[in-house]
Amino acid sequence: MKSSFPAIMLTLTGALTTSAAMAVEDWRNPQVFRINKEPARAFFYSFNDKAAINTEQPWAADNYQLLNGEWKFNWVDTPTKKPQGFYATDYDDSSWGTIAVPANWELNGYGDPYYHSHACFNNDLSFLEGDELNYSMSFMEGKVNYNPVGSYRQTFTIDKSWTGKEVFLHFGAVKSAFYLWINGEKVGYSQDSKTDAAFDITPYIKPGTNTLAMEVYRFSDGSYLECQDMWRMSGIERDVYLYATPKVAVRDFHAYTSLDASYTDGVLRLDADIDNRGSTNASDITLSAQLTDAKGKTVYRKTLSLAALGAGDIQQLGFAAQIDEPNLWSAEQPYLYSLLLTLTSEGNEPQYIRRHIGFRSTEYKDGNILVNGKPVLFKGVNRHEHDPHTGHVVSRESMLADIKLMKEFNINAVRMSHYPNDPYFYDLADKYGLYIMDEANTESHGLGAANQGPYDAAKHIVNKPEWQAAYIDRISNMYERSKNNPSVVMRSLGNESGDGPNIEVTYDWLKAKEPSPVISEQAQLRRHTDTYSQMYAPIQDIVRYAETEHDERPVLLIEYEHAMGNSLGNFQDYWDAFEKYRALQGGFIWDWVDQTFARTNANGDFYWAYGGDMEPLGTPNSDSFCANGLVFGDRTPYPYLWEVKKVQQNIGFALTKDNAREIVVTNKHFFRDLSAYALSWQIIEDGKVVKSKAGISLNAKAGAQQTIKLPKLRFKQGKEYFVNVQVALKNDEPLLAKGHVVAEEQLALAFTPAAPVQTTSADIAISDSNNAITLTGDDFSMVINRHTGLVSSLNYNGSELLKAESHPSFWRAPVYNDLEVKSYESAFSVYQQLGKNTELTSLNVNQLSAQQVEIKLEHALPAIESKYFTTFTVNGNGVIDVDIWFYAAPHKKFGELPRIGTLFELATDYSNVTYYGRGPHENYNDRKSSAFVGLYNTTVDALYVPYVTPSENGHRTDVRYVDFTDNTGNGVRFSAQKTLEFNAEYYNTDDYDATKADHFDRNLHPADLKKQDRIFVHIDYKHRGVGGTNSWGEAPLSKYILPWLDYHYGYRIEPAPGK
């Protein structure tokens, strides 16, 4: 679609100034979204003192004044109740309360926060129509005319040194719409709650004390464009401050860098808007630009001048300068230059602006997004702004902590979901190296989204001409603010906003500004997007796209791997595809942090609150759909963040095919060599280090390989060998300390099964009664219930281990990805009580020798019309070999099994756990790349993972043996000739369901579970993967499920070897 930008901007300008003629309120009029608000511009601080330019926070400078703090506040639930004339300087606000600024009202006792994943407040336009405010969404049911209004008052004093200067009032973010008064005079109006709103208040201020008043609306027509998957809250969410500039000042500038065709030499193009807000003409105006490198050396200097600038005029000064062989900026090597702008004019103070810039190019070319000519892989996350205590108010310390964690865990990209974030985060990304996908504050999910089912396109605002100026305004606000940040390598037109003319025109608007890639996930493969960015595309779909004739645009998954609860399965499979096919350029995991709140229950127990916990009881909500982060609300990593780190590491390792004594190291970086790292290796024999070497230098260039030799090794029969490899930093780097491990791998060397060994055993006695079979050996006894065929007692060294009969186990406490699989309840619930409802159909005892007894059992599984056979081969020394056959009824077809194994209920004395298998963190068959085989010592408590909604957790795979012991070392070992899997916790799978039933009227949290007087140990043969493609229907990949088949497996039970 060909767009006429002058016409569009004329419409936009008209919308800014004609609200007085409109009969409907501004906050219900989509054509009114800014009144007397400063035009969008680049974010920067300017100073009148050159010494101040190096500060990150300008509040100490004498031309800035931070207004954060306690403000007077009044809240009403409907606009008809708002206080009249409250903006007057002599208004009596003594009866008002106070509120912190910035803060969300709803977290401070004014109204309630609501969580709904995609419903804003209306799924039609009734809010804009008629005299009443009507709502169609279920969580707003019955709230006619409900639209809380927060009225704020604050005073400030203008320093005498600001006399004769231009004074601006700046709001970082206010949700959703607000009016502003200074000293009783109306200044302006603003929407777009996630970008800056600045007002020139010079005409309204006076010497001494000034009164600031604001009227903030929780909902407005702008809310239709802010329907993101987040908590519905309101208020002033970012900093509020005053600043003063000379009458003649740089109001905006664009420092745009580009590279030549060889990506060697650069061009710096500067365009600066010089504005004279004085009442007289200005003369002798000089703008000087100085570019210095990271060491402070001047690289380029330029002086521009204007002889005169009329009162009220704006003129642009600029230049384009070639910079030979600049150091390039990338997320791997975020090299920054410093650009200092100095503006002087006759009769005015100088103005100093310092901005870090980077030389880099981003372009869509040859079927890829290229950064500095390279088709980089985006190892990204989506990040909402969320704090578990303050909601949408996020501190600078929290932002830095997020970036530090991201760098530690090999994340190189962030999508600003779903709105422009605080400008400080972009500056941190520039400094420390992250690729940013900036995103406009436009989502209309409640009205319908493309590719997510049918919706009435004629009623969707994306197709309505009267909304077009609002769309462009938000795109402009996003673009102008971050246009000087080198970290912003691409821009998104919004999220789940529908697709139509108003999205198309924003694409054209951005492309007219600069050539950086523009993303519209709603566009699919229509012309107004530079990537194919389908959300949550299954692996097989993107592989098919890459392997067949396809559109020239690359796949970039702006959301994938929905990390809700125990999730992020098949992550390695995604990255195997990304690294194999050039047409696939990675993606952004959903998402970074749980949007939960730190709370305590009536018993004083801590829990993470999610949808339904914060709202009035019974309010429709989206439950724990806000808890899908890689980290908890307090930024504690989930176990699967380690999987992200391992899978996305920038160094690969392999053994040469013909020589197990050589490690091939592959540098997967696009720009950085490996000279800053050192490699170490360890030879592991049955979990113990037998040889090691550290401090090996690396030198492979980006994309290259080098080989590391291992010593000659003699492998012992019956022993298992691995080589563990680590690469770590030689020296401190920004945010990362010397010794930080950036990549690691475990490579299998050898395993030769041991020759069979005839073990000596004590004699074993059999006592057979009507009720039980008792086997007694040397410091050992075992009892099998004759009626159930289940082991009811196991005693080693005079201590009873079991608290109840062991029995087959087929069920797990569902993870969220289980619950959303189509027909889960009907297909899987048959397994829930299956292991407890076996029917013994045959029991045979056979004394093989004086030292050995064989017991054969046959159980029917009536619920699935199948059979379960168990053979115990019991030795007098307490060694028990268990052989199990599960026969799936051939005439039936039930769903996949959640697990297949045996449940043992152990006494709590045996809470020390030692195992030889994958660890140290939780792992599953579809999420274990980061969990290396090793010998680990832990406890039952430490195995537990307190997912926000309790579920299956703490699993371990590829286990050779596991010991459960008391503090003296006595206990039991479970082992397998090949491998087994296990869980151990103080809760039974039934506890999760029973506790949910007890708390049917509210959410379930780990704090609601009560520890039992036993340890529930699952010894599994196989366990279903957790999945992760999405959380609303996609099962784990077929290779990670347990289909309806026969299964044969075995394991051994024996006394733990002791300390």
Cα(345)–Cα(69) distance, rounded to whole angstroms? Answer: 36
The DSSP element (H or E) to which 515 belongs, if any, is none
Tell me the CA distances in angstroms from 604 to 599, 707, 944, 1007, one per residue in order.
9, 57, 21, 10
Token pair recorded at residue 382: 């989506």
Within a 13 Å sphere around the CA of 95, how many CA atoms are in the beta-carbon half?
A: 5
Tell me the CA distances in angstroms from 468 to 500, 963, 1026, one per residue in order.
10, 66, 43
Cα(520)–Cα(531) distance, rounded to whole angstroms? Answer: 8
Tell me the H-state helices in 756-895.
816-819, 824-828
Residue 579, judged by CB atoms within 10 A of its CB (0-12, 13-18, 19+), counts as middle
Cα(867)–Cα(889) distance, rounded to whole angstroms? Answer: 8
- Count CB atoms within 10 A of the CB of residue 876: 21
Cα(684)–Cα(385) distance, rounded to whole angstroms? Answer: 43
Cα(245)–Cα(251) distance, rounded to whole angstroms? Answer: 9
Cα(759)–Cα(210) distance, rounded to whole angstroms? Answer: 92
Closest CA to 229 of 746, 760, 623, 599: 623
Phi, psi values for residue 796, rounded to 5°: -120, 135
- Residue 504 known to be catalytic: no
Helices 640-647 and 571-580 cross at an angle (nearest 10°) of 20
The DSSP line for 439-476 is E-S-B-GGG--TTSS---GGGSGGG-GGGHHHHHHHHH
Cα(804)–Cα(919) distance, rounded to whole angstroms? Answer: 29
Token pair recorded at residue 877: 């020394």
- Residue 549 known to be catalytic: no
Cα–chain center distance at 1020: 31
Q: Which of 559, 561, 615, 744 is catalytic?
A: 559
Token pair recorded at residue 396: 């600078």
Q: Which of 38, 332, 480, 496 is catalytic?
A: 496
Helices 501-513 and 5-17 cross at an angle (nearest 10°) of 110
Cα-Cα-Cα-Cα torsion 865, 867, 868, 873, nearest 10 degrees, comes to 160
Residue 736 DSSP one-character state: B
CB 803 within 8 A of CB 905: yes
CB 224 within 8 A of CB 121: no
Beta strand spans in 602-667 (E) = 606-609, 651-656, 659-667
Cα(8)–Cα(506) distance, rounded to whole angstroms? Answer: 10
The DSSP line for 890-937 is TT--PPPBSEEEEEEEE-TT--EEEEEEEESS--BTTB-TT-EEEEEE
Give Cβ neighbours of residue 151 (< 8 Å, ≥ 6 apart). 73, 74, 75, 76, 82, 83, 86, 96, 213, 214, 215, 216
Write down the number of H helices and E strands in the chain.
12, 59
Q: What share of the chain is helix, strand, coil (3-state, %, to 5)?
A: 20, 40, 45
Cα(930)–Cα(328) distance, rounded to whole angstroms? Answer: 32
CB 652 within 8 A of CB 665: yes
Token pair recorded at residue 956: 């371990």
Q: Which residues are identified as catalytic?
A: 496, 559
